Amino acid sequence: MYVTSSSARSGLLYALCGFALLSIGDAVIKSIAGAWPGTAVAALRYAIGAIGLGTLLFLKEGRKGFALPMPKVQLLRGFSVAMATICFFSSIFLMPLADATAIGFTSPMITAVFSAIFLHERTHATKWVAIWVAFGGVLLIMRPNVAELGWAALLPLAAAISMAFMIIGNRAVAGAGSPLLMQFLVASIAVPFILSAAFIGHFSGVDALMVGMPDWTIIARCTLVAVTASFGHWLIFMGTTRASAAEIAPMTYVQLLIAVGLGIILFGDWPDLMSLAGASIIIASGLILWRGSR
Give the tens place of pLDDT for each residue, 11-28. Answer: 778 888 888 898 999 999
For residue 279, tell me if it sits in a domain: yes
Contacts of 216 (CB under 8 A, 6+ apart): none
Average pLDDT over the chain, rounded to an integer = 84
For residue 31, tell me if it sits in a domain: no
Instruction: State yes or no: pLDDT of 293 exceeds 80.
Output: no
For residue 32, tell me if it sits in a domain: no
For residue 246, tell me if it sits in a domain: yes
For residue 128, tell me if it sits in a domain: yes
Closest CA to 107 of 243, 240, 249: 249
Domain that holds residue 257: 5-25+37-293
What's the pLDDT tens digit per position in 100-146?
A: 888 887 877 787 777 777 777 676 677 677 777 777 777 777 776 66
For residue 30, tell me if it sits in a domain: no
Count of domains for the chain? 1
For residue 259, tell me if it sits in a domain: yes
pTM (predicted TM-score): 0.84
Model pLDDT, residue 26: 93
For residue 183, tell me if it sits in a domain: yes
Instruction: State yes or no: pLDDT of 206 exceeds 50.
Output: yes
